[in-house]
Amino acid sequence: MNSFTDIVEEIKSIISAEIAPKKVFDKDVAAVLGISQMNFATMKKRDKIPFNELLDFCAKRSLSINWLLYGQSPESLVDATNKFYIVKYFNDINASAGGGSDVEFEEVEELEIPEQFVFMLGGEKELKNIEAINVSGDSMEPTFSYNDIVFINRSKTDVNRGGIFTIRTEGGLFIKRVHKRIDGKLDVISDNSVYDKQILAPNELEIVGRVVSRFGDVD
């Protein structure tokens, strides 16, 4: 997958015709993505790819995000014949990596993903079990950050081997590491060391599904 710096250069090539003969700068890319210059600079420094904004950019220009993520040149845009798959995207659901999130309405969209990304989700046979939601909060940084899109396999709810799961408690919907203890209770862990570990009984939470990816591998 390309770095954010590489993606920025691709976007400059794509929008150069729109603002010619003026030279394209980072601030122009930030503007078309709808990101403030300060946030844009931080993302570029940390190599944090703004997937939501890239999806909007591609949708408005009838492009595929695969062209940006995997380094295909602008000249190949018209003739590209890549294969894509669709997963359910609940764009109004935010699983908190922090303070919890409750959902009253679930609006489902179709999220297009490139063929190269399908293997990260477990292969084509698993796509029927995959749903995508948003992340809010900072308790799972640096693994996940605010506005990341994460992919959940709802068929994988076994916590015996541990891992990162979407869970539902009285406090709302969360993304946490879950480890089963010898006494049968569950350690609910944040990757951000600022947040304390919780110990819950199995009947105090619902395992919604295992987090399998976020446009990249999950440790």
Listed by start position, the domains of the chain span 4-75, 84-213
The dihedral over CA atoms of 115, 12, 147, 191, expressed in degrees to the nearest 10, equals 80
With CA atoms as reference, report the closest residue to 14 among 99, 89, 72, 87: 72
The pLDDT assigned to 94 comes to 66
Per-residue confidence band for 214, with pLDDT thresholds at 50, 70 and 90 = confident
CATH superfamily of 84-213: Umud Fragment, subunit A (2.10.109.10)
pLDDT at 217: 46
pLDDT at 79 over 50: no
Higher per-residue confidence, 99 vs 210 = 210
Predicted pLDDT of residue 89: 83
Backbone angles phi, psi at 79, to 5 degrees: -95, 0
Tens of pLDDT, residue by residue over 24-76, are 899 999 999 988 888 888 888 888 888 778 877 887 777 767 667 765 554 44
The model carries a pTM of 0.60
Q: What are phi and psi of 161, to 5 degrees?
A: -95, 0
Contact assessment for residue 26 and residue 45, using Cβ atoms and an 8 Å cutoff: no
pLDDT in tens, 107-166: 677 788 877 678 778 888 899 999 988 888 888 888 887 778 889 999 999 999 899 999
Tens-place pLDDT, residues 161-203? 899 999 998 888 899 999 999 999 999 999 988 999 999 999 9
Compute the distance between CA of residue 150 and CA of residue 169 in angstroms, rounded to an integer. 19
What are the pLDDT digits (tens) for 97-117?
Answer: 444 444 444 567 778 887 767
Q: In the prediction, which pLDDT does 95 show?
A: 66
Burial (CB count within 10 angstroms: exposed 0-12, middle 13-18, buried 19+), residue 146: middle
- Give the per-residue pLDDT at 196: 92
For residue 33, the tally of other CB atoms under 10 A from its CB is 18
Q: What's the whole-number average pLDDT of the chain?
A: 80
